[in-house]
Structure 1
């Protein structure tokens, strides 16, 4: 018996299954929270500090020039979050989240896992991004059934690997500046 990707995301009757609804819930909440975090950095919305103050924080943790790195992080969080929320270009969204959050983990590592300035939230976000890259966006996504839809093990590995390589590239750039 050969099972296709679309059969994995829908129940046996061809209807949308509980897994698709669960993925939709995860994508919408996680994507909205991630996009909001980016908007906090960029514009100070939702109680954020805005780009200048966030840039100063980035400078303090070794990302110089701080405003540049804060803008890149904020923009990537907004784009990655919105792509996840919509279920659009899901492997790219997963790569963006993994890359940004790996940098966030390194920046908060000294705070410990559970400390007030710890890396628990960044680890959770990175894990959620990787999981969505592995599962695909589900049937309730803009990707679903489109010619550009990409999912499966090879796309999951490529997405996560791209996120890791991007994070390492930023850390190398950070150390050079």
Structure 2
């Protein structure tokens, strides 16, 4: 058995990873009372993420696979990068509602992003598949590259969404 630190990291990974996995599975499969892929795609498209099906798939895979990998402690750094980036994008859809989740704010996706980043920074601990595999999928360079790539993609998605929303706003103004 590991130390109290390792046990704490396991609990954190299982809680955050499991919750994010469930959110992704709602999108991809309709599990846990989720909308499923078609309704998720329509919702994403209505929020300015075009095409909705591609964006629903990307966010669903990032959350499902990233959450499962965080929970297992496998490829923890890259998995955390995928989750953090996906949650950064999700936060942008809630920012107009303020901070608190009770009002539809960005509190929950921000908390997931911060938690995933903290897990990436501390590492998964000894009670993880990364420890068992001697971190073959969790090297420092992998974490750095993953954060650069996924946050670059997140910035692109956010920019494209804003362009779509601006275009829709201009179209409504002309009507």
- Of residues 28, 44, 48, the one that matches 1:42 is 28
User: For residues 19-46 of structure 1, what are the alpha-carbon distances to aligned partners after superposition, in whole Å with 9 as ceiling and x for unaligned?
Assistant: 1000000101211111111110111110
| Residue of structure 1 equivalent to 2:151 | 164
CA separation in 1, counterparts of 2:50 and 2:127?
40
CA separation in 1, counterparts of 2:27 and 2:135?
34
| Residue of structure 2 equivalent to 1:148 | 136
Q: Is the 8 A contact 2:78 2:142 kept in 1?
A: no
CA separation in 2, counterparts of 1:30 and 1:148?
22
| Residue of structure 2 equivalent to 1:118 | 105
Query: TM-score scaled by structure 1?
Result: 0.82
Query: TM-score scaled by structure 2?
Result: 0.83
Q: Is the 8 A contact 1:16 1:139 kept in 2?
A: yes
> Bigger CA drift: 44-53 or 157-166?
157-166
More helix by share: 2
CA separation in 1, counterparts of 2:139 and 2:50?
36
The answer as to 2:91 corresponding to 1:68 is no
Q: Could you list the structure 1 runs, at least 4 aligned residues long, displaced by more than 6 angstroms after superposition.
A: none
SS in 1 for 2:103: coil
Q: Which runs of 5+ in 1 are unaligned?
A: 1-14
> Bigger CA drift: 154-163 or 127-136?
154-163
Give 1:1-177 correspondences, 5 Å limit.
16-114=2-100, 115-144=102-131, 146=134, 148=136, 150=138, 159-175=146-162
| Residue of structure 1 equivalent to 2:172 | none
